[in-house]
């Protein structure tokens, strides 16, 4: 393989564009509601410390592995893994790791798009004053009504998929980079505005205490496993997104320092989102809830009760939409890049074809919330829950585990050293030990925990 191979898709305009793009891929719905909630419920600041440690031993080493594979291969994850396996005189079957990640991204986007559609309609529901002074029953009924309407869900899912495909079809520089230049600064500005609003809510101290109070009594063995699992999933590992973005990374950019910044920004967004959300919740004497209940029921009630809630509620769901949009464009890019590299069709047609396939799969998620809720697929779960279980619990951690093994054990040492180009051999040795031993062991623990959680809890008496 030529050492200076270039991607046919283009290269990010600068190192900071890659940082924004990778951060955009990592920052999603989970940052807005999941991380702040699990931090508050598992010891606040104590949990954050454990989480940061998990980011260091699992997230950052594997992310560095994905980026260096992508930049060295300068291709889609499928072709990059195939070429680097050939370069290392390893089995050609490594290309199937790229396939698994790319397919996982497409499957995730199929249901992610449906959920992102909820955020789009809530921009207008909050902005129109629909929830002004509304009680809990009214807001809950509105959300239940949305889920029960397959026509509306399909329309919103279609809109979000069109938004995603328009960006991807335009390519790396005119599409992905142009969108990232707008979306990420806008996301940060919206987050700052909502944080400022939250500071004036009258319950900022209570919200900050919920997030950062060092309560080691809430920090259990299960909390550590939760932190480990979230550290892996929050950085978009195992789905080819970071790998394909690495393929567009400038040659001179430092992989190590760049990945550290991305991980730091991803965590910062999650923490600031918590500081923006929970003071509003507490100011309205509500209990913080997890998942869609917090985003689409609790917060609309809160915004409906406060001065300026129409404006700031709309801004909040605009923030959620931007976060989802910046993630979605990275989920389908690996397969679009592969189709273009194979010469099967141009980027516009590839984006359209894969967009239609993803949209069609998303219809299964649409009906999972209404007319098809009782139809069982994997392990008695409906279509949406089956896809979520398959991707989150099996495909992504397995992909991350194999990436760690490939980067740590299979790639030529001289190749890895050249791509990482670390000034300190001690730091390089630390990364090598971590990616070879510690990260794989941690991912295996996460997989076992997520797949056999109930059995383990019963055995340990939790």
pLDDT for 289? 62
What is the mean pLDDT of the segment spanning 145-174? 97
* pLDDT band at residue 290 under the 50/70/90 scheme: low
The yes-or-no verdict on residue 349 having pLDDT over 60 is yes
What is the mean pLDDT of the segment spanning 74-92? 96
> Does residue 302 contact residue 309 with C-beta atoms inside 8 Å?
yes
The yes-or-no verdict on residue 228 having pLDDT over 50 is yes
The yes-or-no verdict on residue 1 having pLDDT over 70 is no
**Mean pLDDT taken over the chain:** 92
Ranges 24-33, 72-81, 86-95, 287-296: which has the least confidence:
287-296
Token pair of 360, please?
A: 């069609």
The yes-or-no verdict on residue 91 having pLDDT over 60 is yes
What is the mean pLDDT of the segment spanning 376-388? 93
Separation CA 242–CA 245 (nearest Å): 5
pLDDT for 140? 93
Token pair of 35, please?
A: 């991380």
pLDDT for 238? 92
Helices (H) and strands (E) in the chain — how many of each?
A: 25, 0
Q: Could you count the other beta carbons within 10 Å of the beta carbon of residue 128?
A: 11
Separation CA 306–CA 146 (nearest Å): 24
The yes-or-no verdict on residue 5 having pLDDT over 80 is no
> Does residue 25 contact residue 264 with C-beta atoms inside 8 Å?
no
Residue 389, C-beta contacts closer than 8 angstroms, at least 6 positions apart: 378, 379, 381
Q: How many residues does the chain have?
A: 462
> Does residue 276 contact residue 295 with C-beta atoms inside 8 Å?
no
The backbone torsions φ and ψ at residue 117, rounded to the nearest 5 degrees and listed phi first, read: -60, -30
Separation CA 459–CA 462 (nearest Å): 8
- Provide the CATH topology of domain 15-460: Amino acid/polyamine transporter I (1.20.1740)
Residue 287, C-beta contacts closer than 8 angstroms, at least 6 positions apart: 281, 298
Greatest distance between any 2 Cα atoms in the chain:
66
Q: Is the pTM of this model over 0.85?
A: yes
Break the chain into its structural domains and give their ranges: 15-460
| 425-435 residue pLDDT tens | 999 999 999 99
For residue 361, give the nearest of 117, 111, 125 by alpha carbon.
111
Q: Tell me what percent of the residues of the chain surpass a pLDDT of 70.
A: 98
């Amino acid at each position: 393989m030529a050492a200076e191979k270039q991607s046919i898709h283009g290269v990010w305009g600068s190192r900071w564009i890659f940082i924004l793009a990778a951060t955009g891929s990592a920052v999603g719905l989970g940052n807005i509601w999941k991380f702040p909630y699990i931090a508050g419920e598992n010891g606040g600041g104590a949990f954050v410390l454990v989480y940061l440690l998990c980011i260091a031993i699992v997230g950052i080493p594997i992310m560095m592995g994905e980026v260096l594979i992508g930049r060295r291969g300068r291709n889609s994850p499928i072709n990059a893994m195939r070429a680097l396996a050939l370069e290392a005189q390893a089995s050609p079957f490594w290309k199937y790791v790229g396939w698994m990640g790319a397919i996982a991204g497409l499957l995730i986007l199929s249901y992610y798009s449906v959920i992102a559609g909820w955020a789009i309609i809530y921009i207008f529901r909050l902005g129109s004053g629909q929830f002004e002074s509304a009680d809990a029953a009214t807001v809950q009924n509105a959300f239940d009504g949305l889920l029960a309407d397959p026509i509306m869900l399909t329309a919103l899912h279609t809109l979000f998929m069109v938004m995603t495909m328009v960006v991807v079809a335009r390519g790396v520089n005119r599409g992905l980079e142009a969108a990232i230049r707008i979306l990420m600064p806008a996301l940060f500005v919206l987050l700052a505005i909502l944080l400022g609003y939250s500071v004036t809510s009258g319950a900022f101290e209570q919200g900050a205490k919920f997030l950062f109070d060092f309560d080691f009594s809430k920090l259990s063995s299960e909390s550590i496993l939760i932190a480990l699992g979230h550290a892996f999933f929050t950085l978009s590992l195992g789905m080819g997104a970071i790998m394909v973005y690495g393929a567009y990374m400038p040659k001179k950019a430092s992989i190590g320092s760049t990945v550290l910044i991305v991980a730091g920004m991803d965590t910062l967004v999650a923490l600031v989102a918590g500081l923006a959300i929970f003071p509003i919740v507490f100011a309205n004497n509500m209990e913080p809830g997890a998942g869609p209940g917090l985003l689409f029921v609790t917060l609309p009630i809160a915004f409906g009760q406060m001065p300026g809630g129409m404006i700031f509620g709309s801004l909040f769901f605009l923030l959620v939409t931007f976060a989802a949009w910046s993630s979605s464009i990275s989920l389908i890019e690996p397969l679009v890049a592969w189709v273009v590299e194979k010469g099967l069709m141009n980027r516009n047609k590839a984006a359209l074809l894969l967009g239609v396939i993803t949209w069609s799969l998303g219809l299964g998620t649409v009906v999972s919330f209404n007319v098809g809720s009782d139809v069982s697929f994997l392990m008695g779960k409906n279509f949406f829950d089956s896809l979520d279980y398959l991707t989150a619990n099996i495909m992504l951690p397995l992909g991350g585990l194999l990436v760690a093994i490939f980067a740590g054990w299979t790639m030529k040492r001289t190749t890895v050293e050249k791509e990482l180009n670390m000034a300190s051999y001690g730091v390089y040795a630390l990364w090598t030990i971590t990616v070879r031993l510690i990260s794989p062991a941690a991912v295996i623990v996460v997989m076992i925990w997520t797949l056999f959680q109930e059995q383990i809890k019963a055995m340990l008496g939790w």
